[in-house]
Structure 1
Amino acid sequence: MSQHVRGVVARAKGDPVRVETIVVPDPGPGEAVVKVQACGVCHTDLHYREGGINDDFPFLLGHEAAGVVEQVGPGVTDVQPGDFVVLNWRAVCGHCRACRRGRPQYCFDTHNARQKMTLTDGTELTPALGIGAFAEKTLVAAGQCTKVDPAASPAAAGLLGCGVMAGFGAAVNTGGVGRGDSIAVIGCGGVGMAGIAGAKVAGASKIIAVDVDERKLKWAERFGATDTVDSSKTDAVEAVRSLTGGFGADVVIEAVGRPETYRQAFYARDLAGTVVLVGVPTPRMKLELPLLDVFGRGGALKSSWYGDCLPSRDFPMLVDLYLQGRLDLDAFVSETITLDEVEDAFARMHKGDVLRSVVIL
């Protein structure tokens, strides 16, 4: 039978979110119902509320989540009731041209649950990133459930579902940061901090944090930054070059998503270095670079979508690093809140007062 639970819904563009009763159906073939234990408040959820993703209101928000599988539908074998899982928004298909080439992290046909969760009047909900985890329970495709070590804190593990994986993967998977490399991270929000943490785990020798907020630069040191640059007071490109012997960093991560910071990243890298764009731009933004500079500087200009991750491979590994004390996921959790406090958490996030607020259920 379907279940009635509480969930955070965005009804219309810009309207404050509110907690409403959500109807969660029994899982169908290839689906699972997950009892949510924790869910991070991500900028993407705010983008949904503001109509920045699409206009498919009403939205059931929340996607950075961990919880326990409660029910599975027919044909599900990879997870079973009682499994502790982190939810992901890229359930790979196994059949597209990327999957057939052995590159499932680039799957071109990822999927979500086929059934819809609804309001009590039957109005269908659009779950954020196909998850909708600001709710006591949610319905997802079973492939969106990645089983991890249950010894991990749900509040910490859930953050792997989006921001931490995006930043960590941008450094390690997309940027290929390795031992002895230098890296600069422009933009020290949650994703940028995860890039810094990833670079530390990978053995980078020089990790430069760049931001305009002194508080974030202080936080960056906790995650592994060896140097900080306040780009509101100094030229970021010149500062990064100065800190790398005049050459520029081997890898520069742009975690803001703006043309001006991308240009900084482009010119702050060494010859044959790599730029990784993980910050999300808006549709109207344009980038202009001298084509001769693109040619003459060589190297690689990459975009990182979800940290080029394969959840089944990367989530358990990062949880193991966390349990070994090598990746401080707890440091990303600025505060824990309830479902009723999500709207206030959006305001704190928008002001830059927190890295992550985490809803505990």
Structure 2
Amino acid sequence: MPQTVRGVIARSKGAEVEVVDIVVPDPGPGEAVVRVEACGVCHTDLHYREGGINDEFPFLLGHEAAGTVEAVGEGVRDVAPGDFVILNWRAVCGQCRACAKGRPWYCFATHNATQKMTLAEGDPMAGTELSPALGIGAFIEKTLVAAGQCTKVDREASAAAAGLLGCGVMAGFGAAVNTGGVSRGDSVAVIGCGGVGDAAVAGAALAGATTVIAVDVDDRKLEGARRFGATHTVNSRETDPVEAIRELTGGHGADVVIEAVGRPETYRQAFYARDLAGTVVLVGVPTPEMEITLPLLDVFGRGGALRSSWYGDCLPSRDFPMLIDLYRQGRFDLDGFVSETIGLEEVEQAFDKMHGGEVLRSVVVLDQKKEQV
């Protein structure tokens, strides 16, 4: 039978989020109901609330989540009730032209649950279908997703930490390792040291980069980047970051520069801070109106590659278990990304802390006792 649970919605553009009752249907073919244990508060959720993604309100927010499969629909084979899973927003189809070419991380036909969760009786908009953030909607006690959005992993990792692989940490780590191809002895610069940038720093260090330069305007964030493996830091409010990166790399520029901000001015810095034949990776998400102009001769003359990283070019079935194994071995500090654990009622305050640069990640924990990480 359908269940009524509590969840966090953005009812209209710019309005403060609300905790309301939501109806979750039984899973249909290819679907799963997951009891959410923890979900990170990502900047993308704020974009949804502010109408920066689309205008399909009301939104059910939350997408960086881990939890336990409670029920599955007909035809589901890869996960079963009781499995501990991380949710992902790119459930690959296995049939599109990217999948057919053996590059499923570029799947062009990713899918979500067919059925919709709705506002419960008693709400002024009762029966209204909700738009789940990134097809997940995990600021909720239980959520309905496509079974392909569930990746089974070892439960040894705390849900608060493991869930962050569902978006920001995977995006940053993958930008360095998958998209940027960082390898032993490389020099790497990361511009923007929030959760995604710090994950890129950690990925570069783990891949064997010998010089890892963190760039930000906030000394607190730069200090945090050192904990994840940065060998040098540059406050770009005080120092020209392009010149600083060149100076730290023998006058050449970095082999790989990862732009984790998503702004024209920082992308330009990344472009000119790389070595000849180096790689720029854009993983920061720009807004629709942003544009950039570069001299075409410089694009040609500097060679190398200008790449965009979609979700860290990850394949969840491959990358999530691998990163959890690295965590279990003590080689990847997932716990370090969790600044605080909060309840559903504290999501709006978490957005304020995010704006103020006070946290790396606030994580909503949905059981009676908050996890200690």
Secondary structure, aligned partner of 1:341: helix
Q: Which residue of 1 aligns with 2:249?
A: 244
Q: Which residue of 2 aligns with 1:81?
A: 81
For residue 212 of structure 1, report the CA deviation from its aligned partner: 0.4
Secondary structure, aligned partner of 1:69: strand
1:256-282 deviation per Cα after TM superposition (whole angstroms, max 9, x unaligned): 000100000000000000000000011
For residue 27 of structure 1, report the CA deviation from its aligned partner: 0.1
Secondary structure, aligned partner of 2:175: helix
The list of structure 1 runs, each at least 4 consecutive aligned residues, that deviate by more than 2 angstroms after superposition, is: none
Q: Which residue of 2 aligns with 1:95?
A: 95
Q: Which residue of 2 aligns with 1:174?
A: 179
Q: Which residue of 2 aligns with 1:352?
A: 357
TM-score for the superposition, normalised by structure 2: 0.97
Secondary structure, aligned partner of 1:98: helix
Q: Which residue of 2 aligns with 1:291?
A: 296
What code does the residue aligned with 1:185 have?
Answer: V
Which consecutive unaligned segments of at least 5 residues does structure 1 have?
none
Asked if 1:50 is matched to 2:50, the reply is yes
What code does the residue aligned with 2:148 have?
Answer: G
Query: 1:22 and 1:72 mapped to 2: Cα distance?
Result: 19
What code does the residue aligned with 1:301 have?
Answer: L
Which consecutive unaligned segments of at least 5 residues does structure 2 have?
121-125, 367-373
Query: 1:136 and 1:200 mapped to 2: Cα distance?
Result: 36
Q: Which residue of 2 aligns with 1:116?
A: 116
Secondary structure, aligned partner of 2:27: coil
Query: 2:282 and 2:103 mapped to 1: Cα distance?
Result: 20
For residue 351 of structure 1, report the CA deviation from its aligned partner: 1.1
Asked if 1:163 is matched to 2:158, the reply is no
Query: 1:124 and 1:354 mapped to 2: Cα distance?
Result: 32
What code does the residue aligned with 1:116 have?
Answer: K
Matches within 5 A, 1:123-142: 123-142=128-147
Query: 1:354 and 1:161 mapped to 2: Cα distance?
Result: 18
What code does the residue aligned with 2:194 have?
Answer: G
Secondary structure, aligned partner of 1:197: helix
1:330-350 deviation per Cα after TM superposition (whole angstroms, max 9, x unaligned): 000000000000000000001
Q: Which residue of 1 aligns with 2:371?
A: none
Asked if 1:234 is matched to 2:224, the reply is no
Query: 1:122 and 1:232 mapped to 2: Cα distance?
Result: 50
Secondary structure, aligned partner of 1:229: strand
Aligned match for 2:207, one of 202, 208, 226: 202
Q: Which residue of 2 aligns with 1:303?
A: 308
Asked if 1:20 is matched to 2:20, the reply is yes
Query: 1:134 and 1:179 mapped to 2: Cα distance?
Result: 39
Overall identity of the aligned pairs, in %: 81
Query: 1:77 and 1:152 mapped to 2: Cα distance?
Result: 24
Asked if 1:338 is matched to 2:343, the reply is yes
For residue 152 of structure 1, report the CA deviation from its aligned partner: 1.0
Aligned match for 1:321, one of 320, 326, 331: 326
Aligned residues: 361
What code does the residue aligned with 1:56 have?
Answer: E
What code does the residue aligned with 2:43 have?
Answer: H
Secondary structure, aligned partner of 1:172: helix
Q: Which residue of 2 aligns with 1:36?
A: 36
Query: 1:354 and 1:112 mapped to 2: Cα distance?
Result: 30
Aligned match for 2:273, one of 251, 268, 274: 268
Query: 2:205 and 2:5 mapped to 1: Cα distance?
Result: 41
